[in-house]
Amino acid sequence: MNSNSNGFGSSGAVAATEYIRSHHRHETGGNQCSSAVVKRIKAPVPLVWSLVRRFDQPQKYKPFVSRCVAQGNLEIGSLREVDVKSGLPATTSTERLELLDDDEHILSIRIIGGDHRLKNYSSIVSLHPEIINGRAGTLVVESFVVDVPEGNTKDETCYFVEALIKCNLKSLADVSEGLAVQDRTEPINI
């Protein structure tokens, strides 16, 4: 698995590597690629988690999601139908909630259908407390595994998915940090 530590110092990179080893295990087949992206967010874990855990509302921070209709009670096996904004090589995605751990702050999803090229895609997001500039912050790690589409290389596929994840995590940081600046440090119920 590749990992992108986004320019952390050595202690941050060591922590991220340990989190990946502990929480981000993916079985990778011969025609699959896997990677992890790490992002520091200047907002406390409970606030960031209140956004990430909303399997039924990814559009609250994911800029490429235009609409989401969830089925079930936000439990393992729940499904969501996601509509993707134009500009991406996709229109819809059917996703299943694989893991929602409120104690460890881990969310895992698997894409099971839809109109896109991300076949056999699954991801894990974990949140970890960190002190950033003397304040409560969050280290977010998102990892994935996906089939390499015909006509693409593993490197091209990883680069594309990492770019999407980086955009989502930047948006998550922007939303979370904006709420934290407003002193909304308790979990929010959007």
CATH value at residue 167: 3.30.530.20
Whether 13 is covered by a domain: the verdict is no
Taking only Cα atoms into account, the Rg of the chain, rounded to an integer number of angstroms, comes to: 16
Whether 78 is covered by a domain: the verdict is yes
Whether 37 is covered by a domain: the verdict is yes
Whether 41 is covered by a domain: the verdict is yes
The model carries a pTM of 0.84
Do 8 and 38 form a contact (C-beta atoms < 8 A)?
yes
CA distance readout (Å), 25 to 12, 36, 124, 143: 20, 11, 9, 9
Whether 69 is covered by a domain: the verdict is yes
pLDDT tier at 85, thresholds 50, 70, 90: confident
The pLDDT of residue 26? 67
The pLDDT of residue 3? 47
Q: What's the rounded mean pLDDT across residues 1-9?
A: 46
| Residues ≥6 apart with Cβ < 8 Å to 165 | 37, 123, 142, 144
The total number of structural domains in the chain stands at: 1
Select the more confidently predicted residue: 29 or 121: 121
pLDDT tier at 6, thresholds 50, 70, 90: very low
Whether 22 is covered by a domain: the verdict is no
Render pLDDT for 17-46 as a digit per residue (tens, 0 to 9).
666 666 667 677 789 999 999 999 999 999
Give the structural domain span for 52: 31-183
Q: What's the rounded mean pLDDT across residues 46-68?
A: 95
